[in-house]
Amino acid sequence: MITTGKLILVLLMAPLIAAAQDTNYLAPIRTELRKTWPDNRAVQLVFHGHSVPAGYFATPAVHTLEAYPQGVLQAVKTLYPTAVVNTIVTAIGGENSEQGAKRFATEVLTHRPDVLFIDYGLNDRAIGLPRAKAAWEAMIKAAQAQGIKVILLTPSPDTSTDWLAKDNPLSRHAEQIRALARQYHTALADSYAAFARQPDVKPLMAQSNHPNGQGHKLIVKEILNWFQQL
């Protein structure tokens, strides 16, 4: 269960984070999604990360169609019924951001993303904040050099730890990801804060470190804020 003090802290932080975000960041993508045949083209959404975007629930079960990349596709298609949208998942279970950065040019950029999602916070605890920051920065810079819109995701919970404690590694990685979004003027989908607002996250988890279908829907909701037609 989330304690009152921790919940209040997260709720106070969330509006400040949202206020720093540019709601027009995906305006060019939304314009493309509104186009109709014969003027439209395929819009590429690429999801890069670890086991969560890959669709792992209770390991080793992989629920691809219930994972948030497919949920985002379905939600975007509901908003933009005339759009042609491809969802490409380059996530690998167990991987951290250093490993993801090594294959970034050959396995991610080759898909020519319009929007790139990066989600490595859970596994980056194993390599620490400085190494994770360097890897995230390398991927962000490489994507932005090609004009790709980037959405960074803070981690979903690991309920085997006191994940909302300020000094918990997961909390520190979430804050570092928020700082990277501000520094590089990317979009942010704050999954961490979304889960923290729930009175109890256990019903949203397939196992201690993997959300279930309901948990993935919560992540979709955070992402969809960027695709809403303004």
The pLDDT tens digits of the residues spanning 92-106 come to: 999 999 999 999 999
End-to-end CA distance of the chain: 36
**Per residue in 138-172, is it b (16+ CB within 10 Å) or e — as a string?**
bbbebbeeeebbbbbbbbbbbbeeebbeeeebbbb
Virtual torsion, Cα 24, 29, 33, 35, nearest 10 deg: 90
Higher pLDDT, 10 or 87: 87
* pLDDT value of position 230: 67
With tokens 């607002």, the residue in question is: 197
Mind listing the pLDDT tens digit for each residue in 4-24? Answer: 445 444 444 444 444 346 789
pTM recorded for the entire structure: 0.91
Exposure of 53 by Cβ count < 10 A (0-12 exposed, 13-18 middle, 19+ buried)?
buried
**Rounded distance between C-alpha atoms, residue 171 and residue 77, angstroms:** 33
User: Rounded mean pLDDT of 59-88?
Assistant: 98
